[in-house]
Amino acid sequence: MQEKSNYKKTIRKEVLLKGKGLFYGEEVILRFLPLEEGLTHFVRIDHPDRPVIPASVEFASHRYHSTVLEKDGVEVKVVEHVLAAIYGLGIDLVKIEIKGEEPPILDGSALPIAESLMEAGLVEIGEKREEWEPDSPFVVGEKDSYLLVTGAENCKFGYFLDFPHPLLNSLYYEFVFTPENFLKEIAPARTFGFLEEVEPLRKKGLYKGGNLQNTVVLDRTKILNDSLRYPDEFVRHKILDLLGDFYLCGRYLKKGFIKGVKSGHGTNLKLAKRVKGRMNMEKVMEIEEIMKILPHRYPFLFVDRILFLGEKKAVGMKNLTMNEEFFQGHFPGYPIMPAVIMLEAMAQVGGVLLLSKTENQGKIAYFAGVENARFRKPVRPGDQLITEVEIIRLKKRVGRVRAVATVAGEKVAEAEFLFSLAER
């Protein structure tokens, strides 16, 4: 293994892998190629237009206990083992060509992929690696299924697994992350599933490539395989999945401890979204500066801080307390933020983005239209509404933006706004 370095790495030469996919059982070709700029991505070479799907959390979802990447209707399924191998070896950039809908399952672990990439060799590119460490502890997830993130002197990952099964009851494992430890302790751990789930999946046309050579299968009391690679192989594989999903935030954990408690891909992706959001918060605009740009005042100013302000993108924050006037009547006994107020808060972040530009300073942004508005979950007192806005089109007198609002990394609303830009 190479010594620890703060510079980004890619692979030295091409790597080719072949095998059957887990879900569809079809023969798949997977080719890794060196990449020196941009973002790690998949290329579906079985499509005539060879669509590119970035390995980034904005394009990720979870389905059937696996992680899926999708862009413009084209998917790559079950990507977590590939991404875990890349993260585990410290690879920042790689191009992945795939002929099929999912990578080959191989032996059900990340080891064959990691060993092939290691054999190809790693090479540094002349750019500093993007790293992250938590500045304060936080939790992502629900009461019984969550990820706890805390500071630490080193880089650690852990997991507590607790299923109502004699072999999956109260298992815990943690390890100090290094590429060497990953190869030894985590990469060989295979995926696992329950016999009672196999038949329903196959009736849906799934799990056609699964067998006892690539999946540890359990009935109600025992495993059906000959043996385990580790006595706690199950919990180690959950850490493997966590590493693969964490890669999608685009940052390596520099220092800190990420501990999963009965969590899965959905919670992992929430963490990746939250980490990526924090890393993007490069410029802070406090309320005094916001009030120099927006004409809004109490009780109709719904942006407390701008966390990031770029050329085409801004991220704004609104802290919600029970003191908000609209909570008093919407609704008594169960206060939720009105959808129209949520739209206004999102639009105000868009206004800051448009009016902060040199050519628009001193102007006012009038609401001209709202399209494709969707509201996913209620927003309540104590929530922190984070709005991410991106410019779709900007002309001298008209601006169109797309906004997505989240709470704790989970999408609560989205819409497109049209603004008319005029002199005050």
Give the domain CATH number at 183: 3.30.1700.10
DSSP helix/strand/coil, 20: strand
The four Cα atoms 295, 301, 305, 310 give a dihedral, to 10 degrees, of -50
Q: Residue 326 is inside which H or E element, if any?
A: none
**Is the pTM above the cut of 0.85?**
no
- Clarify whether residues 20 and 143 are in a common domain: yes
Rg (CA), the chain: 23
Which one from 65, 165, 296, 330 is the annotated catalytic residue? Answer: 330
CA distances from 135 to 150, 172, 275, 295, 325 (A): 8, 25, 11, 34, 33
CA distance linking residue 381 with residue 4, whole number of Å? 45
Residue 284's pLDDT is 67
- Paired tokens of 229: 């690679």
- Clarify whether residues 269 and 337 are in a common domain: no
CATH number of the domain at 401, please. Answer: 3.10.129.10
Domains of the chain: total: 2
Has residue 2 been placed in a domain?
no
CA distance linking residue 279 with residue 286, whole number of Å? 18
CA distance linking residue 68 with residue 54, whole number of Å? 11
Residue 409's pLDDT is 64
CA distance linking residue 100 with residue 113, whole number of Å? 17
- Clarify whether residues 252 and 146 are in a common domain: yes
- Clarify whether residues 173 and 216 are in a common domain: yes
- Clarify whether residues 110 and 231 are in a common domain: yes
Residue type, 2: Q
Return the sign of the alpha-carbon dihedral for residues 352, 317, 385, 383.
negative
Concerning whether 47 is annotated as a catalytic residue, the answer is no
Domain end (from 218, 253, 279): 279
Residue 165's pLDDT is 92
- Clarify whether residues 155 and 294 are in a common domain: no
Domain end (from 247, 279, 311): 279
Has residue 210 been placed in a domain?
yes
Concerning whether 237 is annotated as a catalytic residue, the answer is no
pLDDT in tens, the chain (424 residues): 544 678 999 999 999 999 999 999 999 999 999 999 999 999 999 999 999 999 999 999 998 889 999 999 999 999 999 999 999 999 999 999 999 999 999 999 999 999 999 999 999 998 889 899 987 777 888 767 899 888 888 999 999 999 889 999 999 999 999 999 999 999 999 999 999 988 888 888 888 999 999 999 999 999 999 999 999 999 999 999 999 999 999 999 999 999 999 999 999 999 999 888 765 444 568 899 999 999 999 999 999 988 778 778 888 899 999 999 999 999 999 999 999 999 999 999 999 999 998 889 889 999 999 999 999 999 999 999 989 898 999 998 999 999 999 887 678 999 999 999 998 8
Domain end (from 248, 279, 310): 279
Which one from 41, 81, 237, 265 is the annotated catalytic residue? Answer: 265
pLDDT digits (tens, 9 = 90+) for 153-189: 899 999 999 988 999 999 999 999 999 999 999 999 9
Phi then psi dihedrals of residue 248, to 5 deg: -70, -10
DSSP helix/strand/coil, 363: strand
Pairing outcome for strands 216-218 and 192-194:
parallel
